[in-house]
Structures are given as C-alpha cells and as structure tokens.
Amino acid sequence: MSASPSFRLDGKRALVTGAGRGIGKTIAEAMAEAGAEVVLCARTETEIAQVAAALSANGHKARALPCDVTNVTGFAALIAEQAPFDVLVNNAGTNRPKPQSEVSEDDYDTVMDLNVRAVYFVAKIVANQMMAAGNGGSIMTISSQMGHVGAANRTIYCASKWAIEGFTKALACELGPHNIRVNTICPTFIETPMTKPFFEDKAFKDSVLSKIKLGRIGRVSDVTGAAVFLASDASALMTGSALMLDGGWTAD
C-alpha cells in the first residue's frame, strides 16, 4: 500500500496577508493548527497581535507582522528580515460594488491597488525569497468566483480577479521549475465583517442564494480546508489552477 498524502504543515512557515479578520484570520488559525509557523500580516497591528497571542496561548507558533502590503518598498524591507517562507497566502483584498456609471478613479485605484498591484508584488517578493532558499513552496491567492464570471455592480472587482487568474497561470509557468506551486482559491459570497452588511438587504441576499446551488451563503470555515490542502504536500502536483468554492455558482 502507498502512504496517504499528508495534510500536515509541520515545519512549514506560512505568511498570511489580511490576517486580522475574516477569511485571512481563519486561514491563519487553520494553518497553525495543522502545524505551521504562521506570520500574520495586516495594517491593523492590534487585530493580528490578538490573533497571534491567542494561537500562541494554545501552543501554536504564530506572530504578528504589521505591514501595509500596498507599500511595496516597505513590505520588501520587512520580508528581507524574515527567514524564508514555504507558504504565502495572498489574502488581502477589497471591493467597492457600484454601477460602472458611478465608479470613480479613486474606486478603481483603491481596488486595483490592493487586489492586483499588491498581490503581484507580494508574490514577487516572497517568490524571490523562496527561489533563493531553494526549498520550493506554495503561493495561493484568495481570488473569487468573480474571476470566472461577471456580475452587475462589480466591474472593477471582476476585472481585478480575472487579472489575478491570468497572473496565477503565468506565474505557475515561471515558478514550476523551482518547485513553487501557484494557485487560486475562488469562493462564492462569504459572510465576513466586510460583507455582512450587504446581506441585510433581503433582495440582494435572495439573488445571491438563487445562484448558489447548495442554497447557503459561504462561511469563512468553508475556505480553510482548501487553503490547508494547497499549502500541504497533498496538493504536490497542483499548480496554475483555480480551486472553486462557489457552491455551484459557476456550474451553469
């Protein structure tokens, strides 16, 4: 019998951006529980410090690294001081849903700066470190089902996530020879502190549920299994792919 693949992350160092709340926080917690040493990155130091402290109190390895990932120079300087990472979770992102006729230049710049520019350069900086270390690695970006379909009031967001899907495939081609895998996770609507107010609009919530074949809004815990899988050796042959967690939204 061949051995079953391991989903454990013992001995791996993982960097999670946007780790102070929502999806990023939950992924960081799951990776720590799977044995990884987790470094939590976000702008709000108090949030990531609380998460890191709670994980450490439970016997896990975790620490906070306050940083604004849109500050590429500052981020690069911080990473240069760190030991090499084995896993990167490019999670920090934002959205400003509105009709295209109402989108301002500030809306566009804010969404694209975090969802595309920061993701691109965070991946570059960490990947360069991974290549120098020569140990391989796993890079994942929290993308969206909206990187595969379109939706009204989401022209900027869709543009940003479609860009990330293309970037991921191209980067997977470049980093494959270095045994660095690059993938995306594509959730449907997940209830987080950022999205919860939208679901208070019954019409909006009903329209969302009408497209999710499983009939419910996603929970942050729905994303953690995919993240741990992509970080682990269980996904050793997976790169350049999009892992859909959309409850069937894109099935038709």
Confidence bin at 193 (pLDDT 50/70/90): confident
- CA pair distance 11, 127, nearest whole angstrom: 18
Give the bridge partners for 180, in sequence order: 137
Extents of the domains making up the chain:
13-245
Which CATH number is correct for 13-245, 3.40.50.2300, 3.40.50.150, 3.40.50.720, 3.50.50.60?
3.40.50.720
Q: Which residue has the higher pLDDT, 194 or 235?
A: 235
Specify the pTM.
0.96
- CA pair distance 162, 186, nearest whole angstrom: 11
Confidence bin at 196 (pLDDT 50/70/90): confident
- CA pair distance 239, 11, nearest whole angstrom: 21
Residues with catalytic function: 157
- CA pair distance 72, 117, nearest whole angstrom: 9
User: Does residue 167 carry a pLDDT above 90?
Assistant: yes
- pLDDT digit string, tens, across residues 31-53: 999 999 999 999 999 999 999 99
- pLDDT digit string, tens, across residues 118-158: 999 999 999 999 999 999 999 999 999 999 999 999 999 99
| Residues in CB range of 102: below 8 A, 6 or more apart | none
